[in-house]
Amino acid sequence: MAFAGSKLESWRLLSTRMGTLWGKLCARWVLFCVGVWPPYVSPTKIALADVSYANDPGRDQGEVDFPPLIISNHLSWVDVVVHHALFCPSYIARKGTEKLPLLGTMSKIQGCMIVDRERQLAEGSGAGAGAGVGAGQTKRKTSDPSIVDLDAKSKQQQQEEEEKHQEEEVGGEEKDGQTAHEHGVSSQLKKFLLDLEDRRKRGENIRSLLLFPEGTTSNGEGLIQFKRGGFLAGLPIKPYWLQYETGTASAAWESIGILRQLWYLLAGSWTKIEVLELPLYHPTEEEKTNPQLYSENLRRHIAMTVNNVRRRRGLLVDEDGQGVQLFETSLKDKRDYMNDLKELERLEALARQHGAEGNDGEGEPLMDLS
């Protein structure tokens, strides 16, 4: 039995290594197809002299072979392919992904963290409904169609708000303490990372989890506020910085659709990328117990370190140059901005429609947004 178990473990290790190699090769092929150069991208290690805490040697406590968590700035869907080509890390995936053809096999090989968002939404919805009834509100049927429509609308709105909350919970918010949102996805993420660290200390080969702490893409000019879910465990974190040197198309993906952005990349000549590898960041004792402090200090550390590299290369001659900025905006701010853009597009379409009707002799347009 011991021999059979050992043989099975050897086969699992072999399949994991083959899956990792195949995943890296596929990712590099995708980079070549979309014009990212070089497709064999490799990280550039940042010298200790450029690190923000270079004058504090005690902060440099060395590297580990497999840090449980690696983080990166996020500009485009291309970032995922780049990291896949470099490390083939694990990701956070929805429950059910492991049952899909090919993707399911890859998620198992990569040891992805599976999140059951639907179950968490249902539990949250049930708790909210119970609280509402307990407050003295009694559900009753009514024949008034306006009330029925309002109820249906409110349910849909509530579901959308809960889905947004679950997405934001991977970073959590501070409420009356340091880790007020240590539940749901954040709590699961914390347990997942602590388990990886425990296995690493036992000498097991683990696969690092890749996290984009901003929770969304940006234009690459700076960092928005970090969500704090990945900092709850208080473990050392390996930061990376991606920067694209644009040819005829930008890899940054913001307000346009993914198919349109993919077409721009395919139509362009090339997109050069550089991956900067920062030293492993070891949190202080205070940062370990305060995720908000940890996330903000690491955000500032990344910005300062990358700016030091640019300054040494002559790309940043003053603080108003091409430096990495720290934006006080968040994922919620970007979501509100995108919703405003959609509303503006709707109003413009409505204005054009009424303008066309006015030209047909049916009256003047109701508004003019030109």
DSSP state letters, 211-239: E-TTSS---SSEE-PPPSGGGTT---EEE
Highest mean pLDDT out of 15-24, 130-139, 289-298, 317-326: 289-298
The whole-chain average pLDDT of the chain stands at 75
Residues 256, 262: Cα–Cα separation, whole Å: 10
Judge whether residue 100 has pLDDT over 50. yes
pTM over 0.85: no
Residues 53, 48: Cα–Cα separation, whole Å: 9
Give per-residue pLDDT as tens, 105-127: 777 777 888 887 666 555 555 54
CA 156 to each of CA 151, 161, 218: distance values in angstroms, whole numbers, following the listed order: 9, 9, 29
Residue scoring higher pLDDT (115 or 319): 115
